Structure 1
Amino acid sequence: MNSRVVLERFPAGGPRGSWPAEEFAQVQRAQGKPAEVVMDLHSDAFLVVVRGGESAE
């Protein structure tokens, strides 16, 4: 099963030159969580997710 836990959502229309979803994911990875950014086309948002069901603390 390919489960994912959403840690945070960011609107796709952020300020030019700003990548808040990538920055948040980088902080999570520095804390040992395998976070990645995916695009949710339906809601026009970037999601920071962890695969495998590992939840945020």
Structure 2
Amino acid sequence: MSAPTLSRADHLAHEAGSYVRAIPASKLPRKVLESFPAGAPRGQWPAESFAAEQRRQGVPARVVMDLDSDSFLVIVEVAS
């Protein structure tokens, strides 16, 4: 039995799916607005709530996990 022949579209899809993408590091420095321990009670998301309040006030805050300190950080990227 001969090997199946891939169409051009299948070949491109295979290449795209096989490519290992590196996540680029942000070029902007980050400012930590607040830190919250990762052990919040079940069903409570204090870091997300704080970030949402900041966004309502026009601050482009987002939450990231700091694995070294086991905490959630609310950050903004600032132009230097």
Q: Tell me whether the two structures share a fold, i.e. TM-score over 0.5.
A: yes
Identity, % of aligned pairs?
64
The residue type paired with residue 47 of structure 2 is: A
Which structure's residues are more often strand, by fraction?
Answer: 1
Following the alignment from structure 1 to structure 2, what is the Cα–Cα distance between the partners of residues 14 and 44?
A: 11
The gaps in structure 2 that reach 5 residues or longer are: 1-26
TM-score normalised according to structure 2 size: 0.64
Bigger RCO (CA 8 Å, 6+ sep): 1
Which structure's residues are more often helix, by fraction?
Answer: 2
The gaps in structure 1 that reach 5 residues or longer are: none
Runs of 4+ in 1 over 2 A off after TM superposition: none
TM-score normalised according to structure 1 size: 0.88
The total of aligned residue pairs comes to 53
